Amino acid sequence: MFRTIGLKESASLMSAVVTRICATVANIVAMVVVDRFGRRKLFLVGGVQMILSQITVGVVLAAKFKDHGGMEKEYAYLVLIIMCVFVAGFAWSWGPLTYLVPTEICPLEIRSAGQSIVIAVIFLVTFVIGQTFLAMLCHLKFGTFFLFGGWVCVMTLFVYFFLPETKQLPMEQMEQVWRRHWFWKRIVGEEDEERERQEA
């Protein structure tokens, strides 16, 4: 991608290194703040950060990308900075939490199967995106980033409406969380208050 926007080969390689460093630092940040602020807040803030990054890259490319390819160097580096912001937003929120949250919401009986499905889906989607991204960039150009920004928006809205907070919740309480949630209680059933009083 960095070659496409006009950076030379050495600059493109260095850009890849810079984005990986940003991802590593952001992963460390995630480890520090995940239990302090909670999973939902990291998902939502990281999602907004990624949406704004994707839209901004799309706008810059739409305005400055030349018909014959490439763009002025200062705008190419601006795209690099914005992509670092995107990578950091993913690496301190959606990246690690995609592995963490499924282990917290799945009962012990199905946790191993659930986590296996999660990882398989992640690998499959990563493979598909990796194989199709450059083709999409060639055909959709800046629209590619609006497309991904739209999907991140959908993901963030899903978390906002459907994902309960799991911070510091023991596994035994997750069933109650689902039964009290405004949407999922319709699927798992209302909480049986009488049974809870009997167990207490």
pLDDT of residue 134: 85
Q: Tell me the per-residue pLDDT of 108-135, one tens digit each, with 9 for 90 and over.
A: 888 889 999 999 999 999 999 999 988 9
The predicted pLDDT at position 97 comes to: 95
Using CA atoms, how far apart are residues 88 and 22, in angstroms rounded to an integer?
6
Report yes or no on 120 lying in a domain: yes
Average pLDDT value over all residues in the chain: 87
Number of independent structural domains in the chain: 2
- Cβ atoms 103, 111 nearer than 8 A: yes
Burial code (b: 16+ CB inside 10 Å, e: under 16) for 16-54 equals: eebbeebbeebeeebeeebeeeebbbbbbbbbebbbbbb
> Residue 144's domain is classified under what CATH number?
1.20.1250.20
114 and 137 assigned to the same domain: yes
Quote the domain boundaries for residue 187: 170-200
Q: Is residue 3 part of a domain?
A: no
**Residue with tokens 């907004």, as numbered in its chain:** 48
Point out the residues of the chain with pLDDT beneath 50: 193-194
Question: Contacts from 25-28 at CB under 8 Å and sequence distance 24+?
Answer: 25/88, 26/87, 26/88, 26/89, 26/90, 26/91, 26/92, 26/95, 27/91, 27/92, 27/95, 27/96
In this prediction, residue 175 carries a pLDDT of 85
pLDDT at 194: 46
Kindly state whether residues 76 and 161 are assigned to the same domain: yes
pTM value is 0.85
- Decide if 2 is inside a domain: no
Q: How far apart are CA 32 and CA 90, in angstroms?
A: 15
